């Protein structure tokens, strides 16, 4: 085989999967909580859609990547 | 001793021999000056190594050489490799593998020709030495066909004493290695003899072309006849750092069929005398750093397996649920993960490729039908396989976790696979690392859809009847809640203002700067006035119907709060005045004390009311 052949590995070192999963999911769940707290404590009239989308978007971003690393950590290589 | 095999077979074979002799017409004037054939019969796979020396006696140069196999052998031929060593002498380092094609030359019935492409054409008088290595499956037939638990397995092997070739052979010899000393019979073709577990035929001299001298050996062979009827290997690549391999086996014992009952007691108490041809272990050599190994079947996990691993290899020894006797079958699945960086590489042209072994990791098994599926990551393109031998190739699509458009699958199918096929093959494909983000983004979109649904649910009004009393009550409650929240907000602002005022007093006590303190007072007064207006506006906006419920509470709160603010203002005035008169600190304290007391009490009350409002 030619010498210019490079082995391909994961873009993120596999030893970081647990810590990444825990950190991202924690942040994700905290922002989910803040989203729902905001949803139930504010009344219909002074709820701001921008803030809802921002909190929801942030939460889904962290939860999405967090659950990906959780899957990878537990051996479900997607 | 040849009487144990059917006579009719012999006569048919000799007829065939005659027929060959008549039909043959050597394609070129080649002569095999020496043929040395070694046939290894010690396992279920018949492996034959033949060294031949070819000489061109004719005047035309020859570029191909024909190899002949009888139809039974051609049918069970699994692996054929012809090599030639360039250098003279013993050094075989530069063995060149020659191309072998199915021959176009017309062959007599019951004979199949293979054409070997010589590295350079053979001129008159030149010679070349070739090594022919071939492996055959299912060529040993058990005889008797059925045996009991305490019997040994005897097998028959049919071949020709003469090397079957379309060319005349000058000198030839054949040695057959049998696995045990127990040989029931073998056909004698003088000179032939048996010694040290080897049946030797020859040397024979000046044998004409296509001479076929049928022989039969009948001997004991208790090696495991482990045949995998159907093997499906799925190699799934994930660029997140892993390759997962799942192998589904349908394993049979292809030896002499088991007859009568099976006694577990005999089997375990007399292991040497019982079930000699059965097997209970299988050994798989997995790649190094294999992890997450499992071994299960339809029922569940099978616990009888052992895994040993070191730096160079991982060995998996597994026992099926029961020992396998002739004709018995078992199905199971094994799976393991291997690190991505050991098997997937980036080539110079930017393509990526998988480099992994083809066949089953089990030692000494024959696979009748092997399907290798290489599941590439989603978003891969231009997938193609490179194999050192022929196999059917097909492109499919598979859907697994977090897939949208499906993963391309390169499916390779090959029949009659022996351990010799367990060599590396490559699957090339193009893949961009950005495509790896598709999976997490799918998750993100999924979660966002959930949040979006929540937002929509809280924003839209889903009630059917807009006039029912419960709906109106809810509506009213919402409005009151809203007003209360706004009041709370304003109150908080006011509290912050008074906090600031108090802070300015503390600053005064420390620095004695009256001017800044006055400025703070002015600011605070303005703020309180503003917020007063706000509060009034909020209360006015409340619909009359809902006023009564909240109003009492809010009123008391507001009264107390106003009182508190007033007291604070008074305290502020007194203190500032005291400072202006340059009174001693003791006197200031005594003057301020009554206001302070009242203020603390009011603060408490306001805080309590504020909490009440929450309810």
What tens digit of pLDDT does each residue of B95-145 get? Answer: 788 888 887 767 777 888 899 988 888 888 888 899 999 999 999 999 899
Write the CB contacts of B75 (distance below 8 Å, at least 6 apart in sequence): none
**Banded pLDDT at B608 (limits 50, 70, 90):** confident
Q: Considering Cα of B460, then B462, then B468, then B470, what sign does the dihedral take?
A: negative
**Is B294 an 8 Å CB contact of chain A?**
no
List chain B domain ranges. Answer: 7-220, 226-431, 469-612
* Same fold? B7-220, B226-431: yes
Q: Are B240 and A53 in contact (CB < 8 Å)? A: no
B341 interaction partners in chain A (CB closer than 8 Å) = 7-9
Residue B415 makes CB contacts below 8 A (sequence gap 6+) with B368, B369, B370
Going by pLDDT thresholds of 50, 70 and 90, the confidence category of residue A74 is: very high
Mean pLDDT value across residues B157-178: 92
Confidence of residue B516 (pLDDT cuts 50, 70, 90): confident
> Quick one: pLDDT band at residue B541, thresholds 50, 70, 90?
confident
B341 vs B190 pLDDT, higher one = B341
pLDDT surpassing 60 at residue B32: yes
pLDDT at B90: 53
Q: Which two tokens stand for residue B160?
A: 């020709």
Question: What is the distance between the alpha carbons of residues B445 and B441, in angstroms, rounded to a whole number?
Answer: 6
The contacts of residue B507 (CB under 8 Å, 6+ apart) are B513, B516, B517
In angstroms, the separation between the Cα of residue B292 and the nearest Cα of chain A is 8
List all residues of chain B from 390 to 409 with a beta carbon under 8 Å from chain A. Answer: 400-402
Partners of A71 on chain B (C-beta within 8 Å) are 401
Q: Does B545 have pLDDT greater than 70?
A: no
Cα–Cα distance for residue pair B534/A48, rounded to 1 Å: 21
- Using the predicted structure, report yes or no on whether residue B11 has a pLDDT greater than 50: no
Hey, are the CB atoms on A78 and B238 less than 8 Å from each other?
A: yes
The architecture of the domain spanning B226-431 is: Sandwich (2.60)
Give the model confidence (pLDDT) of B345-392 as tens digits: 999 888 999 999 999 999 889 999 999 999 999 999 999 999 988 899
| A35 and B CB contact within 8 Å | yes
Q: Residue B22: pLDDT above 50? A: no
Whole-number mean pLDDT of chain B? 84
CB contact (8 A) between residue A60 and residue B346: no
C-beta atoms of A64 and B292 within 8 A: no
Residues of chain B with Cβ-Cβ distance to A74 below 8 Å are none
Q: Which residues neighbour B272 within 8 Å (Cβ) at sequence distance 6 or greater?
A: none
Q: List pLDDT tens digits, range B222-251.
A: 988 999 999 999 999 999 999 999 999 999
Convert the pLDDT of each residue in B48-63 to its tens digit: 999 999 998 888 888 8
pLDDT tens-digit series, residues B390-415 = 899 999 999 988 888 899 999 999 99
Secondary structure letter of residue B461 according to DSSP = -
pLDDT class for B12, splitting at 50, 70, 90?
A: very low
pTM of the model: 0.77
Residues from chain B that touch A72, judged by Cβ atoms under 8 A, are 240-241
DSSP-derived secondary structure for B105-146 = S---TTEEEEEEEEEEEE-TT-EEEEEEEEEESS--EESSSE
Which residues contact residue B329 at a Cβ distance below 8 angstroms, ignoring those fewer than 6 apart? B229, B250, B251, B252, B253
Can you say how many angstroms the Cα of residue B107 is from the centroid of all Cα atoms in its chain?
A: 45
Question: CA–CA separation, B444 vs B332, rounded Å?
Answer: 38
**Are A5 and B478 inside 8 Å of each other by CB?**
no
pLDDT at B16: 47
pLDDT at B572 over 50: yes
CA distance B201 to B161: 6
Describe the strand order of the beta sheet including B242-253 as a list of residue ranges. B291-296, B329-339, B242-253, B226-238, B366-375, B407-417, B392-398
**Of residues A44, A59, A67, nearest to B451 (C-beta):** A59
pLDDT tens, B201-221?
Answer: 988 999 988 888 899 999 999
Angle between helices B585-614 and B544-580 (to 10 degrees): 170
Comparing A35-49, B19-33, B157-171, B541-555, which segment has the lowest mean pLDDT?
B19-33
The verdict on a CB contact (< 8 Å) between B454 and A46 is no
Q: Give the model's pLDDT for residue B531.
A: 81
Distance from the A19 Cα atom to the nearest Cα atom in chain B, whole angstroms: 16
The whole-number average pLDDT for the span B515-529 is: 80
**Six-digit token pair at B521?**
């007072």
Residue B250: count other Cβ atoms within 10 Å of its Cβ: 17
Q: Tens digits of per-residue pLDDT, B270-299?
A: 887 788 889 988 999 999 999 999 999 999
In this prediction, residues B605-613 reach a mean pLDDT of: 72
On chain A, the residues whose CB falls within 8 A of the CB of B447 are 59-60, 63-64
User: What residues pair up with B282 in beta bridges, in sequence order?
Assistant: B318
Whether residue B451 and residue A57 make contact (CB cut-off 8 A), yes or no, is yes
pLDDT attached to residue B460: 83
**Closest Cβ opposite residue A43 in set B240, B241, B478:** B478
The answer, yes or no, to whether residue B425 has pLDDT greater than 90, is: yes
pLDDT of residue B8 exceeding 60, the answer is no
Q: CATH topology for B7-220?
A: Immunoglobulin-like (2.60.40)
């Amino acid at each position: 085989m030619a010498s210019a052949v490079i082995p391909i590995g994961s873009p993120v070192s596999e030893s970081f999967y647990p810590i990444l999963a825990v950190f991202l999911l924690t942040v994700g769940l905290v922002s989910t909580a803040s989203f729902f707290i905001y949803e139930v404590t504010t009344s219909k009239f002074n709820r701001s859609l921008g803030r809802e989308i921002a909190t929801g978007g942030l939460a889904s971003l962290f939860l999405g990547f967090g659950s990906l690393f959780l899957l990878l950590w537990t051996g479900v290589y997607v | 001793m040849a009487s144990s095999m059917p006579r009719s077979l012999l006569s048919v074979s000799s007829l065939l021999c005659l027929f060959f002799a008549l039909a043959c017409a050597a394609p070129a004037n080649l002569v095999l000056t020496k043929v040395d054939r070694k046939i290894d019969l010690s396992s279920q796979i018949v492996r034959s190594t033949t060294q031949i020396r070819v000489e061109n006696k004719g005047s035309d140069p020859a570029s191909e050489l024909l190899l002949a196999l009888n139809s039974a052998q051609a049918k069970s031929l699994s692996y054929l490799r012809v090599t030639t060593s360039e250098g003279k002498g013993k050094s075989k380092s530069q063995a060149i593998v020659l191309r072998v094609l199915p021959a176009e030359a017309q062959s007599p019935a019951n004979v199949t020709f293979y054409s070997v492409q010589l590295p350079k054409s053979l001129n008159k008088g030149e010679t070349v030495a070739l090594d022919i290595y071939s492996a055959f499956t299912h060529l040993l037939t058990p005889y008797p066909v059925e045996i009991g638990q305490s019997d040994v397995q005897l097998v028959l092997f049919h071949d020709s004493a003469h090397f079957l070739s379309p060319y005349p052979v000058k000198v030839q010899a054949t040695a057959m290695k049998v696995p045990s000393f127990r040989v029931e019979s073998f056909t004698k073709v003088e000179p032939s003899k048996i010694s040290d577990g080897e049946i030797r035929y020859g040397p024979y001299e000046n044998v004409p072309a296509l001479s076929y001298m049928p022989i039969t050996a009948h001997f004991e062979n208790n090696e495991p006849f482990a045949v995998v009827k159907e093997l499906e290997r799925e190699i799934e690549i994930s660029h997140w750092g892993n390759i997962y391999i799942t192998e589904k086996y349908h394993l049979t014992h292809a030896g002499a069929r088991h007859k009568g009952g099976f006694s577990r007691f005999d089997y375990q108490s007399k292991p040497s005398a019982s079930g000699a041809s059965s097997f209970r272990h299988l050994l798989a050599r997995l790649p190094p750093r294999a992890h997450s190994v499992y071994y299960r079947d339809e029922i569940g996990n099978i616990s009888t397996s052992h895994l040993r691993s070191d730096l160079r290899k991982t060995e998996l020894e597994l026992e099926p649920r029961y020992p396998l006797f002739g004709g018995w079958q078992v199905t199971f699945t094994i799976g393991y993960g291997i690190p991505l960086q050991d098997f997937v590489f980036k080539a110079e042209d930017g393509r990526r490729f998988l480099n992994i072994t083809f066949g089953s990791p089990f030692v000494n098994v024959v696979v009748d039908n092997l399907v290798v599926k290489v599941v590439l990551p989603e978003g891969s393109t231009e997938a193609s396989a490179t194999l050192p031998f022929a196999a059917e190739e097909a492109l499919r699509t598979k859907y697994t976790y977090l897939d949208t458009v499906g993963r391309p699958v390169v499916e390779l199918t090959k029949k009659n696979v022996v351990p010799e096929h367990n060599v590396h093959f490559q699957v090339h494909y193009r893949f961009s690392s950005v495509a790896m983000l598709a999976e997490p983004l799918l998750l993100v979109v999924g979660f966002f859809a959930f949040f979006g649904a929540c937002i929509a649910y809280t924003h839209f009004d889903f009630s059917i009847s807009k006039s029912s009393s419960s709906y109106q009550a809810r509506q009213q409650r919402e409005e009151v809640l809203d007003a209360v929240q706004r009041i709370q907000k304003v109150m908080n602002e006011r509290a912050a203002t008074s906090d600031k005022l108090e802070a300015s007093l503390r600053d005064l006590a420390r620095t004695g700067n009256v001017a800044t303190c006055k400025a703070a007072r002015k600011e605070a007064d303005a703020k309180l006035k503003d917020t007063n207006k706000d509060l009034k506006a909020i209360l006015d906006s409340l619909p009359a119907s809902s006023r009564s419920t909240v109003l009492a509470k809010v009123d008391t709160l507001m009264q107390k709060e106003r009182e508190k603010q007033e007291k604070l203002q008074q305290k502020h005035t007194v203190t500032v005045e005291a400072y202006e008169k340059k009174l001693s600190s003791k006197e200031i304290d005594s003057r301020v004390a009554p206001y302070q007391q009242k203020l603390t009490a009011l603060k408490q009350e306001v805080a309590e009311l504020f909490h009440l409002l929450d309810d």
